[in-house]
């Protein structure tokens, strides 16, 4: 059981045994990436199941186990044992038609060594046209506490398995603490996973020099200076013409992680500079009302002339978003990494800002009198009232008698930044006319 007291079910098995298809079927969502190539899943991917009685349980998918992994797969494989030892129950997923007995034996040995077979539920998958009476006798030794015959792809035989999961679920313990959500996003090989590991002070994400190493969305809890965060490492976001089917889906997962984030750590490889794709990511974050923190990684690899050129380039590229914070670091050596926590603290203070309705209306009625908007289609809008209706991020609603020009909306945004000290964050302005 993890530290939040939520039981965890872990899916293990050989590549292409159908683990990712099974977790997607059980969670009724695209929790894991599915592909025809073995080891499409490259890290632990977790989904929380919630039931009507408010009970919850975590179910996690792992990369397929390889007896003799290639160099590119060794990093993915080394964490499997650690994850298996932490799980409450293990679903040993077996393709009922597999001939790889040697591979199954290797997994069985690991489970037996850790005395985990009593916590193992064996799932015989791909049984849509299989007579259970014809089960290979060599498979019997892999049966643990219980076993099920299913077809994850055809969603057959899942009812009993779902009932079993619900029986293991627990009532979630309520926490009063609000947790800020961070997502790390950027182009392939910018150093996102290195930064993720450096912040966690642990080799949680697989790191290599090969672009596209991270495919899955990896979520962990992060504690910095007595403050708690939820942090997500994502796949690189390449240009569209570079994406194959799996990369394209991984990229979509990365961008979709912005939907539930408060702050986006947008990592840029300083040796390559801010690209069109980086600017697209920044724009996507702002459109989702997520505060971006631009991180120029690998700063230590630049000489003085290169640094001056990059600073000048960034200033020009971010002319439209002068308020975006920028930090220069080396994630690998952890140089200047403490600046991130300091900046996060300042951002959180601004994200939590609450301005009273009376104060807002006093300021904006005065502003409307001194600097009214130009008429829009021959009619000058009057301000009725303004309110702030949320924080994290702050959101403001202006109720007007008519429409205002776009440049006046920008004027209002800049006024809020300057007057109410919101010069580091994204916030939303809603115009009701």
pLDDT at res. 3 = 44
The rounded distance, in Å, linking the Cα atoms of 166 and 51 is 7
Would you call 256 exposed, middle or buried from its count of C-beta atoms within 10 A (0-12, 13-18, 19+)? middle
Reported pTM: 0.66
The single residue listed with the structure tokens 């290169």 is 306
Q: What is the pLDDT of residue 252?
A: 62
Report CA 271 to chain centroid distance, whole Å: 25
**Are 400 and 263 spatial neighbours (Cβ–Cβ below 8 Å)?**
no
pLDDT in tens, 264-295: 999 999 999 999 889 989 999 999 999 999 99
Q: How far apart are the first and last CA of the chain?
A: 52
| Widest CA span in the chain | 86
Q: Which two tokens stand for residue 134?
A: 């014809």
CB-based contact 43:197 (threshold 8 Å) = no
Mark the ranges of the chain whose per-residue pLDDT is less than 70.
1-4, 30-43, 66-80, 114-116, 173-177, 202-217, 236, 238-255
| Backbone angles phi and psi of 99, in degrees to 5 | -110, 0
| Matching residue, tokens 């499409």 | 40
Choose among 292, 270, 380: nearest CA to 340.
292
pLDDT at 220: 84
CA distances 408 to 77, 156, 395, 417, Å, are 55, 58, 17, 14
Query: What's the CA gap between 1 and 45, in Å, rounded?
Result: 16
Distance CA 295, CA 81 (A): 33
Residue 52 is predicted with a pLDDT of: 75
Phi-psi region of 212 (alpha: psi -120 to 50; beta: other; left: phi over 0): left
pLDDT in tens, 65-118: 766 655 444 555 566 677 777 788 999 999 999 999 999 998 898 888 765 678
Q: Both tokens of residue 363? A: 């300021």
> What does the angle CA 290 – CA 300 – CA 223 come to, to the nearest 5 degrees?
45
Which residue's entry shows tokens 């996690």? 60
The token duo for 191 is 């150093």
Look at residue 62 in the predicted model and tell me its pLDDT. 79
pLDDT of 208 = 44
Dihedral sign of CA atoms 399, 400, 404, 407 in order: negative
Spell out the domains of the chain, with CATH numbers in brackets: 8-171 (3.40.50.300), 180-351 (3.40.50.300), 357-432 (3.30.300.20)
The pLDDT of residue 76 is 52
Per-residue pLDDT tens digits for 151-187: 999 999 999 999 999 899 888 765 556 789 999 999 8
Q: What does the radius of gyration of the chain's CA atoms come to, in whole angstroms?
A: 26
Give me 261's structure tokens: 């984030």
């Amino acid at each position: 059981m993890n530290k939040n007291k939520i039981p965890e079910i872990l899916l293990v098995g050989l590549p292409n045994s159908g683990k990712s298809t099974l977790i997607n079927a059980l969670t009724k969502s695209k929790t894991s990436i599915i592909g025809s190539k073995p080891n499409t899943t490259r890290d632990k991917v977790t989904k929380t199941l919630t039931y009507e009685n408010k009970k919850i349980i975590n179910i996690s998918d792992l990369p397929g186990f390889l007896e003799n992994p290639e160099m590119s797969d060794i990093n993915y494989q080394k964490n499997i044992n650690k994850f298996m030892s932490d799980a409450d129950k293990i679903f040993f997923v077996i393709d009922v038609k597999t001939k790889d007995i040697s591979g199954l034996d290797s997994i069985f040995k690991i489970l037996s060594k850790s005395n985990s077979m009593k916590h193992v539920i064996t799932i015989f998958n791909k049984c849509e046209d299989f007579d259970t009476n014809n089960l290979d006798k060599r498979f019997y030794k892999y049966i643990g506490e219980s076993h099920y015959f299913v077809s994850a792809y055809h969603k057959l035989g899942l009812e009993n398995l779902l009932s079993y999961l619900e029986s293991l679920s627990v009532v979630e313990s309520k926490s009063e603490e609000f947790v800020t959500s961070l997502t790390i996003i950027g182009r392939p090989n910018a150093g996102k996973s290195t930064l993720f590991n450096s912040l966690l002070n642990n080799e949680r994400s697989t790191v290599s020099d090969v672009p596209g190493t991270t495919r899955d969305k990896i979520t962990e809890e992060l504690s910095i200076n007595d403050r708690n965060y939820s942090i997500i490492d994502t796949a690189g976001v390449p240009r569209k013409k570079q994406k194959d089917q799996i990369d394209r889906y991984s990229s979509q997962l990365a961008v979709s992680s912005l939907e539930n984030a408060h702050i986006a750590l947008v990592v840029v490889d300083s040796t390559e500079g801010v690209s069109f794709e980086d600017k697209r990511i920044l724009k996507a974050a702002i459109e989702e009302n997520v505060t971006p923190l631009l991180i120029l990684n690998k700063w230590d690899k630049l000489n003085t002339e290169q640094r001056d050129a990059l600073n000048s380039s960034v200033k020009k590229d971010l002319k439209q978003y002068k308020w975006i914070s920028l930090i220069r670091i080396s994630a690998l050596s952890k140089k200047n990494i403490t600046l991130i926590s300091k900046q996060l603290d300042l951002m959180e203070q601004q994200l939590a800002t609450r301005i009273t309705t009376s104060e807002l209306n006093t300021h904006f009625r005065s502003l409307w009198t001194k600097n009214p908007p130009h008429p829009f289609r021959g009619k000058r809008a009057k301000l009725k009232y303004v309110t702030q209706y949320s924080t994290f991020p702050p959101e403001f609603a202006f109720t007007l008698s008519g429409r205002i020009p776009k440049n006046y909306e920008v004027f209002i945004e800049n006024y809020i930044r300057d007057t109410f000290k919101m010069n580091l964050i994204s916030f939303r302005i809603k115009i009701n006319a």
